Amino acid sequence: MKKLQLLALLFVALFSLTLTSCDKDDDEDAAPTEELLTTGVWKGNALKVGEELVTRDKLFRESMGQLDLATWTLRFNADGTGTMSVFGESSSGKWEYADGKKTIVFDKGSTDESSAKVLKLTASELHLEFEDEELEEELGSSKIQIHYIH
């Protein structure tokens, strides 16, 4: 009988320990915040097409500077406006969070509406995933990730 009580007590102690040790860091699960997104200009750093990650340095070497990801910039303003620059072309528009801040919708309700899934957002990194069927023909994958840094 004493062994059974001891085993039960040991089980409760181990169970309590596993509950506290499995607690995730709050920062990992925190939803992306507007403050992180709207602080400064985000500059392109890497591009992922399908499973191939192409860094800025690799693209620069392969294309002799013709496709410099650092010139790809995003700026999100707190008032829901923003600017984007790609290949030297700049455009302005509106943005908003959707899906519990897991998605950013650009120019909602317009003919130019698009969205990107927020894969990672920290003070220094922003990873966005875009999906477009037209990309499948050109790049071999309908999904493309762009990694930005501050």
Domain-located, residue 12: no
124 by DSSP, 3-state: which? Answer: coil
Domain-located, residue 8: no
Residue range 66-115, pLDDT digits in tens: 567 788 899 999 999 999 998 788 999 999 999 999 999 999 999 989 99
User: Which domain does 136 fall in, by range?
Assistant: 32-149
Residues present in the chain in total: 150
Domain-located, residue 114: yes
What is the reported pTM? 0.70
Tell me how many domains the chain contains: 1
CATH code of 39's domain: 2.40.128.270
In the chain the beta strands, taken as DSSP E runs, fall at 41-49, 52-55, 73-76, 81-86, 89-98, 103-106, 114-121, 125-131, 143-149
Domain-located, residue 10: no
Q: Which has the minimum average pLDDT: 57-61, 64-68, 120-124?
A: 57-61
Per DSSP, helices labelled H in 1-150 are 2-21, 26-29, 34-37, 56-63, 133-139
Residues 76/38, Cβ–Cβ less than 8 Å: yes
Domain-located, residue 44: yes
Domain-located, residue 21: no
CA distances from 77 to 69, 81, 95 (A): 21, 5, 9
